[in-house]
A and B are shown apart, each in its own frame.
Chain A
Amino acid sequence: MDFTLPETALAVQRGIADVCSRYDMGYWERCEAEKRWPDEVWADLAKGGWLGLGVPEEYGGGGQGLLEMAVATETLAASGSAGGSAFTYVLTPGFGALTLSRHGTPEQKGTLLPRLATGELETCFALTEPDAGSNSLAISTFARQDGAEYVVNGQKIWITGVQRATWMMLVTRTIPAEEAKPRTNGMTVFLVNVPEAVEKGQLSYRPIPKMGANTTPSNMVFFDDLRVPAANVVGEVHGGAVVLWDILNPERILLGASALGGAEVALRVGVEYARQREVFGRPIGANQAIAFPLAQVQAKIELARLMLYKAAWLFDQGLPCGTESNIAKLTASQAAWEAADAAFQTHGGMAYSLEYPVARLLTDARIGKIAPVTEELLLNYVATQVLGLPRSF
């Protein structure tokens, strides 16, 4: 067994760290406070070809797999952007480029991939609905065929990055959930041109005021007789579930990687403070009550990283990776939360001051336990699919 990262992944680590070295914690804090997209980092990532890492070379990309993309996301998050801001890397390189590379029609690939690889086009992903979050098969946004077009009506919630996206990967029902057999049948994924649909009044959205991760707004989205050409179906009509799994597994791995990077930066900040802050005439890190939680986090980070890289590797080999990506996501987001919490406790009162980075790291780390899938649902998966326990739902 060989645990060394391939040269390509090491190149990604080095290259992304190089880009990020010009942006300090303060930069990310300002982006968060100003609720603005990290334009400068985005431009630099685009220039170096880092956004197109997962796009096949024939379409102008780096021709790399999910492992390299996970390493990119982790490195970006660990540099200070932390969990929330690493959406930067997931929305377009992940949801858009990776999905279309696998499931796009030759036409979709030819027109979109080269421009997704350069960051000129951006994407978002719309699955969650007010009445279908954890139970995503219960979505009711419906696409009715009308000649060479589909007409979509319904509503989505929490859709992140709609503002910048040219294309939305929209998950719909073409057979209502109640009638679908099995329940995974009858789902269809569409590419929706967001600015065009907005202009025609067929799509509207409203940002949700949120607690953190404000570099990228999340929105309510409404579809009102939205017309989508049949050529914009990704994968098969009614067979969208296949595409969906190939979105959701990489999403777990990439957001797991972002949580992992978030854990790394929180630990770094915590350890630094534990070393410097003196109370009772000695550095607080000399107290085991402070040191051990930090050491514990280090162990969890190492474990989560192993699992994450394994899951990504399985995906790249075309092997089943459901169990591994779920466990990777679970352990990485727990590591992120525990790291942020330990760093927070280590900072004492200063943790509560917005002049220190810990509060942001804690807020960011909290999302990982909810999105894109809750901790309970991950445990449900392990309990039922791995341990064979009876289903609760």
Chain B
Amino acid sequence: MNIVVCVKQVPDTATERKLRSDDKTLDRDAVDGVINELDEYAVEEALRLKEAHGGEVTVLTMGPAKAADTIRKALAMGADKAVHLVDDALAGSDALSTSYALAQALGRVGFDVVVLGSESTDARTGVLAAMLAERLGVPQLSQARKVEVNGSAVTIERVTDYGYDRVEASLPAVVSVVEKINEPRYPSFKGIMAAKKKPVETLGAADLEADAGQLGLAGAWSEVVDFAVAPPRAAGTVVKDEGDGGAKAAEFLASKKFI
């Protein structure tokens, strides 16, 4: 089975994140990059699928040069090879232009199943899997807490508010996973050493045979117009109960248009 797992390098959630003043995108140079947490679960699931059904796991990432660290981590966990989509023309992509670039790359790499985390900790749009499936014209199975492949069918347990739905589709397909799905393995010593020798193919925008107008900032449908630091929390209003506390509280809420 040809398994592709999409991973993203995100700013370490433990560090302070800043937006750049010029193009108002996240300043990725200023922070430590780590693998998006949910993507570790995606890599783990991809590896388990390979262990159960054979085949190969390819890591696909789009990101600046330093995202190579994230690729190495996924390779150290056990993936076989990687494709790194890196080009200044891709900077500033929103979810829509990212999905376009990744879909073009996937068309080139080929796949039976694409596994990815259901959202990333930086932008948290959570729409990439759906966009990707739509662009590739294959079924999307989202929010999986369990994945099984049987011949040419894939079945997942999709997490819902009330429990889970069993969703089945034919391969090829896109599967997004949640953290309940597994316990990601740590890279082993041998895994880390072996990762250094695994092939990483670098692709630029030109390799994608893409419409340049749909890539990067140029292709983004969303635009950050302005941003500001969240204001520090102001002192609260204390309602003193002198028999009319309820009415005063209601008045306050009404003044703020909460009720």
Whether the pair A15, B196 counts as a contact (CB closer than 8 A) is no
Whether the pair B189, A18 counts as a contact (CB closer than 8 A) is no
Whether the pair A49, B196 counts as a contact (CB closer than 8 A) is no
Q: Is A50 an interface residue (CB 8 A)?
A: yes
Whether the pair A47, B186 counts as a contact (CB closer than 8 A) is yes
Q: Is A124 an interface residue (CB 8 A)?
A: no
Indicate which residue in A7, A8, A15, A62 contacts B187 across the interface (CB closer than 8 Å): A15
Chain A residues with a Cβ closer than 8 Å to the other chain, count = 16
Residues of A near B187 (CB, < 8 A) are 14-15, 18, 48
In B182-216, the 8 Å CB interface with A consists of 185-193, 196
| Closest beta carbon of chain B to A218's beta carbon, Å | 30
In A32-47, the 8 Å CB interface with B consists of 44, 47
Whether the pair A49, B185 counts as a contact (CB closer than 8 A) is no
Residues of A near B191 (CB, < 8 A) are 48
Whether the pair B196, A44 counts as a contact (CB closer than 8 A) is no
Complex Cα gap A15–B188 (Å)? 7
| Cβ contacts A4-23/B at 8 Å (1 or 0 each) | 00011001101100110000
Whether the pair B186, A19 counts as a contact (CB closer than 8 A) is yes
Indicate which residue in A8, A14, A47 contacts B185 across the interface (CB closer than 8 Å): A47
Q: Is A233 an interface residue (CB 8 A)?
A: no
Q: Is A112 an interface residue (CB 8 A)?
A: no
Closest residue of B by beta carbon distance from A62: B189
Residues of A near B76 (CB, < 8 A) are 15
Complex Cα gap A64–B190 (Å)? 11
Indicate which residue in A7, A8, A48, A64 contacts B188 across the interface (CB closer than 8 Å): A48
Residues of B near A49 (CB, < 8 A) are 188-190
Whether the pair A47, B188 counts as a contact (CB closer than 8 A) is yes
In this complex, the member of A14, A53, A62, A64 whose beta carbon has the largest number of chain B beta carbons within 10 angstroms is A14
Closest residue of B by beta carbon distance from A53: B189
Residues of B near A62 (CB, < 8 A) are 189-190
Closest residue of B by beta carbon distance from A11: B192
| Closest beta carbon of chain A to B76's beta carbon, Å | 8
| Closest beta carbon of chain A to B82's beta carbon, Å | 17
In this complex, the member of A7, A11, A47, A62 whose beta carbon has the largest number of chain B beta carbons within 10 angstroms is A11
Whether the pair B188, A12 counts as a contact (CB closer than 8 A) is no
Complex Cα gap A64–B185 (Å)? 22
28 residue pairs of the A-B complex, CB under 8 angstroms, read A7-B193, A7-B196, A8-B193, A11-B189, A11-B192, A11-B193, A14-B192, A15-B186, A15-B187, A15-B188, A15-B192, A18-B186, A18-B187, A44-B186, A47-B185, A47-B186, A47-B188, A48-B186, A48-B187, A48-B188, A48-B189, A48-B191, A49-B188, A49-B189, A50-B188, A50-B189, A62-B189, A64-B189
The interface of chain A, by Cβ under 8 A from chain B, is: 7-8, 11-12, 14-15, 18-19, 44, 47-50, 53, 62, 64
A-B residue pairs, 10 tightest by C-beta: A11-B192, A48-B188, A49-B188, A49-B189, A62-B189, A48-B186, A19-B186, A15-B192, A18-B186, A11-B193
Q: Other CB < 8 Å A-B pairs besides A15-B188, A47-B185, 18 of them?
A: A7-B193, A7-B196, A11-B193, A14-B187, A15-B187, A15-B189, A15-B192, A18-B186, A18-B187, A19-B186, A44-B186, A47-B188, A48-B186, A48-B188, A48-B189, A49-B190, A62-B189, A64-B189
